[in-house]
């Protein structure tokens, strides 16, 4: 519901489709939104496991692959930038970093690409991704993976962060912003994957869905972990 509220508050759609297995609860939520819609200016599917359900949506819909996306690692990457910014003492928007592949479980931080404009983290800390990593940088990724479970433990569920994340994706589409998002997309081909697998890769998102897939330069280890993610889902 946080996704629906966020999209409505950003005035991104004239119509909003809600899908839930609990029909009565869904009807109640819809009525609640309808009653409150006069105070706002006023087809997305958001669920988990996102990569698998994006594949299912693609297969059932018959839509071209560029029109079917999942929220993927969009939120993971944003939280990663936030935590890295805290560690480096800079604003999160000045820290460029990606978390890619499978959402949560076998996600991969692209350490080779982490940078504050002009300076890569790997240059500052050559021991990164080795047993000699005194900064314990891998703990940052662990925090990202565990964050949703921590929020669920404390408040019972996650909502606002993913809601705002999805609203941001909708905004890129509706306003044709051509922003790059790490979202779940069909990656057969660009990264040497031979199966019809949906995983998070940087994509240019515009009015017609995915207009381009950004080919990130990876280390051999990162490529191996990509293949592992693809094999896990396939």
- Give catalytic residues, as residue numbers: 103
Beta carbons within 8 Å of 232's beta carbon, 6+ residues apart: 102, 105, 106
d(CA 200, CA 104): 11
Which is nearest to 107 in space by CA: 202, 39, 14, 199?
199
Peptide bond connecting 12 to the previous residue in cis, omega within 30 degrees of 0? no
Which is nearest to 49 in space by CA: 201, 155, 198?
198
Residue 72 CA from chain centroid, whole number:
3
The three-state secondary structure class of 28 is: helix
Residue carrying the six token digits 């925090």: 143
Beta carbons within 8 Å of 136's beta carbon, 6+ residues apart: none
């Amino acid at each position: 519901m946080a996704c629906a509220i966020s999209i409505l508050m950003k005035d991104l759609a004239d119509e909003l489709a809600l899908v839930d297995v609990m029909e009565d609860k869904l009807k109640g939520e819809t009525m609640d939104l309808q009653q409150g819609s006069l105070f706002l200016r006023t087809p997305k599917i958001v669920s988990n496991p996102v990569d698998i359900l994006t594949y299912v949506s693609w297969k059932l819909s018959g839509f071209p692959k560029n029109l079917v996306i999942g929220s993927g690692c969009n939120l993971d990457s944003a939280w990663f930038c936030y935590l890295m910014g805290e560690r480096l003492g800079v604003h999160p928007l000045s820290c460029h970093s990606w978390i890619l592949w499978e959402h949560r479980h076998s996600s991969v931080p692209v350490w080779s690409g982490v940078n504050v404009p002009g300076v890569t983290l790997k240059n500052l800390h050559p021991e990164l991704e080795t047993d000699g990593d005194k900064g314990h940088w891998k703990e940052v990724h662990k925090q990202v993976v565990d964050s949703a479970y921590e929020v669920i433990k404390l408040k019972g569920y996650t909502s606002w962060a993913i809601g705002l994340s999805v609203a941001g994706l909708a905004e890129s589409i509706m306003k044709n912003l051509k922003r790059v998002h790490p979202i779940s997309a069909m990656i057969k081909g660009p990264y040497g994957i031979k199966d019809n697998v949906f995983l998070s890769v940087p994509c240019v998102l515009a009015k017609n869905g995915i207009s381009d897939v950004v080919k990130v330069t990876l280390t051999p280890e990162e490529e191996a972990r990509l293949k592992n993610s693809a094999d896990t889902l396939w």
